[in-house]
Every structure is written in C-alpha cells, then in structure tokens.
A = this chain, B = another copy of it.
Amino acid sequence: MDPDEFRDFGKAAVDYIADYFKNIRKLPVLSSVEPGYLSASLPELPPKTGEKWRKVFTDVDNMIIPGLTHWHSPHFHAYFPTANSYPGIVGELVLSGLGCLSKDWESNPACVELEVRVMDWLCKMLGLPECFLNESEGPGGGVIQNAASESTLVGLLCGRQRSVKTMLAKNPHLTAEEIRGKLVAYTSKESNSSVEKASLLASVPMRLLPTDNQCRLRGSTLREAVEKDKADGLIPCCVVASLGTTGTCSIDELEELGIVCKENDIWLHVDAAYAGAALVCPEYRHLMKGVEYTDSFNFNPHKWFLTNSDCSAMWFRNTKDAEEAFKVKSTIQEEPQYEYEIEHWQIPNCRRFRALKLWFVMRIYGVQGIQKHIRHQVGLAKYFEKLVRNDERYEVLISCLGVVCFRLKGEDQLTQKLLDRIAERKKLFIMPYYIQSKLVIRFVICSRLTEREDIDYAWNEIISLTPVTRKQLSNAPIQTVRRTLSLKNAGSIVNKGIVTDINDKIKVELFI
C-alpha cells in the first residue's frame, strides 16, 4: 500500500466511523448470529496475494458488523461504560501512526515525560492525595497500565513483596518461600473477578469477605478476618478495596479499612476502575473518604473518562515498593538519566504512547468538558431511577452514579421473566445481578451518545415487556402490601418504605 492509498483508506475509515456513530441507533445492540457464524463465511486460509482495501472494508460491513455487540450503542446498558470519544479515537490514530514505544527515558523522552505530566494532571483533576504526584517531593508517582486487572495484580504483588521484606527483617530465621507460603489477602465478595484471578496468579490466597447490606466491605469484617488469620499464624499482606463494585457500584468503607490496614501493615489497593472518573466532580469526592490510607490507587480512563482503551491509571504512595517488586537486576541502570523510572512500575517491558491520547482528551474536553460528561450521565441514571420509582411494580435496590439496580417486586421469577423477554427481543443489552440473593436488573449508562430519548426508549421497552400489569397489582392489594412489608424486613437492603396508597394506585417510596 503506497502513501496515497493510505490517505484514501485512512480518510474512508474516518468517515466510516463518523457514519457508524450517526447510524448506531439503527443497529440492533445485540447481534443475532449463531455461534460459529464467521467460520462459514471466512476462508480457512489467508489470501496468498494482497487484496484491495475496499474489499476488506466491504467485508467489515458484511461479516463483522452483523456479529458485533455494539458497545457504544445508546441501548447498551451492560457491564460498565467503555470510553470512546472523537479526541480519544484520533489520539489512538496518531499514537499508532507515530508508532513510538518507550522503555526508559533514553528510549523515548517525549513518551516518558508526557506520561509523567499527564498522570499528575489526572491526579490533580481527581483531587487525589498529593503524595501520589510524580512531581511531589516524596517517592509517590503515577503510571499508565493496560487494565484494572493488571493494576490489581501489580498492587497485590507490591503488597506481597513488602510483607516478605518486612517479615524477613523481623524473622531472619525464615526463608522468603516460607513467608510467601503464609501470606493471605482480602477483598469483598462483591469485588471484580479479576481480584480473584490476581490471587491465583500471585499465589496469595484471597479471602472473599461478606459485605454489609449496601454491598460494602466494612472495617469490622476485615478486622475480624485479619485477627483470625494472624491467630492461625498467617501473614495478612494486602487488601483490595472497591471504589465502585462491579455489580452495584457500591463503595467500600475506605476509611474503616484503611485504619485496619495501617494497624496491621497491610498494603491497601483501591480499585476505582469505573467510579474513579466521577472524582473529577468535587461533589463526588466524598466517595473516596479515607483515600489517604491507600498504598496504590487505580482507575480506568478507558472506562468513563472518554479515553479509548487501553488506558488504566495507577498511582503509588511509594514507587520504590513497585521497583522492589518488579525491577529485574539486568535492567538496573546505575545512573538513570531521568528521575522517574516508570518502566519499573509495570509488568511489560515496553509501553505504547498512551499518554498522547489521554493528553488529547484532557485538552480538547478540558476539565469542565469531562465534568459535564460525568454529570450528564449521572443525570440520565437519576432520570431512569425516577421512572422506575414512579412505577409501583418496581423497586430500586441500589443506585450509585451511572448504575441503577432495580427489580420487579415479589418473587425473582417475575424479574427473570422480564429479563428473558428483553434478551429475546435484543433491543436492549442489560445484565442480571444478585443483591443479597435477590435477582435484580443492573442498568448502566454506558454510551457517550446516550440521551434522554434513549432512556425513554429503554424504559418503554422494559414496561412493554413487564410480566405484570398495574391492574393486576391493584387487584391484589393485600398481596402487594405483603410484598412491601417483606421488603422492609429484608431491610438489609431497604431501610424504610412508605406505602401511601394500597388501593387503586400504589405509591411506594423507598429510602435506601
């Protein structure tokens, strides 16, 4: 392909993407293909000679688009948002075009220095502790990782290494292997599955602790577990706390956990993969109360911060801990040219120039532009929540930021029936979840393109498929009241419910 063809191909791709977003509401969010659909249409061998790019592009339309789940459809309300923005896309294009990687500073000064600076910008934008800043006098600093799962693993490995080092100093008769065999880590049952995976990888058993009725891990629970393990001769080394659990976006009680960690010399890693982006708005910073206790903190700009994947931000209170854990002897420079050796704060050898796209996003949106995005999306969630609460057949169990967990009152089977119908029609993509053994629908504002009309669309789809009518409800007032009462008693979740009318129209206000 010659440069002129590249110009044509690249510009056609830009138009293709713009058109894709323009028409995205016309595409079904979920595909209807059967497993194995692609092997039927794609040859078993690659072409011997090169093909024209226009033909490949046609095949994207014919073979790929029909099999895609459109993660940026305004009707995609599953998982969490995956960032996508125009500045982010062009940022990715430019960094990919320049194709410059970096290792140490000498290998690419601009890549390393821009990353150091934008991580400081980000730290300040979120109001994180100053000790995390690269430019701070202390040993703290921030770096871009691939993913939250990798950051969790990095945090756990740092905690493991710190404990081994401390215990070796205190118990010179023990070997590192003996100490590693006694290590144990903690997280809540509600944390992301990647935390458990990190524990498999690091060979550190992970206790999945129970949460309170808001799905939050509490200090007392942690303290009890730590004390029991210590009594059994084990060595607690790391806690992975969630600032926004995957299921319900619940916020672990950082301050309570932090105190226990501090008392027991345990590494505290905070996984704020999704919710961390909200800290750009001062009104949400109360969510991170206790953050001053954390040893490492991670959030993904590639989730809710408009920066295309991959881009996962991680800060350390003391980057020397990371260097202790990851620095391979053969790569140590006696006199590094640059004061930040960020290449030793990560697992891979090389880094893509991801700082460039983050820089594009921060500059072209500005702080206010990103705040506006977060507030708009939270507003959409609140609007959806209001629609749900205004329908007496439904109850909202937990709602935080862009995540609303709701269900049909009564037995799970009603909600299950609704979920089945929604899945069958493929007009919305939403996921089920369980809160304290109750089936809920997890509705998340994901796409940057989602607007109020899309929320109305979603709600209309939901109520049109709701397997119980308002009339059925009003014909069975006693049953309904019973349900409401049992809800109040499930109180673990719902603390207070006011039934204002049990006859024609039942209005239930729940305060959670």
Interface contact A147-B348, CB-CB below 8 Å: yes
Interface contact A363-B51, CB-CB below 8 Å: yes
Interface contact B149-A347, CB-CB below 8 Å: yes
Stretch at the interface among A93-101, A378-386, A403-411, A501-509: A93-101
| Interface membership of chain A positions 28-63, coded 1 if the CB is closer than 8 angstroms to chain B and 0 otherwise | 000101011111001011111111110110001001
Residues of chain B within 8 A (CB-CB) of A39 are 113, 116-117, 135
Interface contact B71-A101, CB-CB below 8 Å: yes
Residues of chain B within 8 A (CB-CB) of A107 are 69, 78-79
In the bound complex, what is the Cα–Cα distance between A107 and B68 (angstroms)?
A: 9
In the bound complex, what is the Cα–Cα distance between A347 and B154 (angstroms)?
A: 12
Is A253 interfacial (CB-CB < 8 Å)?
no
Q: Contacts A181-B181, A197-B347; is A22 near B46 (CB within 8 Å)?
A: no
Is A309 interfacial (CB-CB < 8 Å)?
yes
Interface contact A101-B82, CB-CB below 8 Å: yes
Shortest Cβ distance from A195 into B: residue: B328
Give A500 Cβ to nearest chain B Cβ, in Å.
40
Interface contact B18-A113, CB-CB below 8 Å: no
Q: Copies per complex?
A: 2
Shortest Cβ distance from A83 into B: residue: B99
Residues of chain B within 8 A (CB-CB) of A349 are 147-149, 192-194, 197
Interface contact B68-A308, CB-CB below 8 Å: no
Interface contact A309-B101, CB-CB below 8 Å: yes
In the bound complex, what is the Cα–Cα distance between A470 and B89 (angstroms)?
A: 55
In the bound complex, what is the Cα–Cα distance between A369 and B203 (angstroms)?
A: 45
Chain A positions 71-118 with a Cβ under 8 Å from a chain B Cβ? 71-72, 78-79, 82-90, 92-94, 96-103, 105-111, 113-114, 116-117
Chain A positions 393-439 with a Cβ under 8 Å from a chain B Cβ? none
Is A331 interfacial (CB-CB < 8 Å)?
yes
Is A367 interfacial (CB-CB < 8 Å)?
yes
Interface contact B348-A150, CB-CB below 8 Å: yes
Chain A positions 5-38 with a Cβ under 8 Å from a chain B Cβ? 5-7, 9-11, 13-18, 20-22, 31, 33, 35-38
Interface contact A201-B200, CB-CB below 8 Å: no
Residue tally, chain A, CB below 8 Å to B: 136
In the bound complex, what is the Cα–Cα distance between A253 and B401 (angstroms)?
A: 57
In the bound complex, what is the Cα–Cα distance between A350 and B160 (angstroms)?
A: 25
> Which residue of B94, B135, B369 contacts A49 across the interface (Cβ within 8 Å)?
B369
Residues of chain B within 8 A (CB-CB) of A35 are 105, 109, 337-339
Interface contact B7-A113, CB-CB below 8 Å: no
Interface contact A36-B113, CB-CB below 8 Å: yes
Give A29 Cβ to nearest chain B Cβ, in Å.
11
Is A360 interfacial (CB-CB < 8 Å)?
yes
Give A456 Cβ to nearest chain B Cβ, in Å.
23
Interface contact A363-B89, CB-CB below 8 Å: no
Interface contact B10-A100, CB-CB below 8 Å: no
Interface contact A17-B90, CB-CB below 8 Å: no
Interface contact A17-B114, CB-CB below 8 Å: no
Q: Contacts A6-B14, A348-B149, A352-B309; is A98 near B68 (CB within 8 Å)?
A: yes
Residues of chain B within 8 A (CB-CB) of A146 are 146, 348
Is A498 interfacial (CB-CB < 8 Å)?
no
16 contacts between A and B (CB under 8 A): A1-B364, A3-B21, A10-B11, A14-B93, A17-B97, A35-B338, A39-B113, A49-B367, A50-B366, A67-B109, A72-B99, A82-B99, A89-B93, A96-B96, A96-B308, A99-B308
Lowest 7 A-B CB distances belong to which pairs?
A: A67-B110, A17-B97, A10-B14, A84-B99, A38-B113, A6-B86, A50-B366
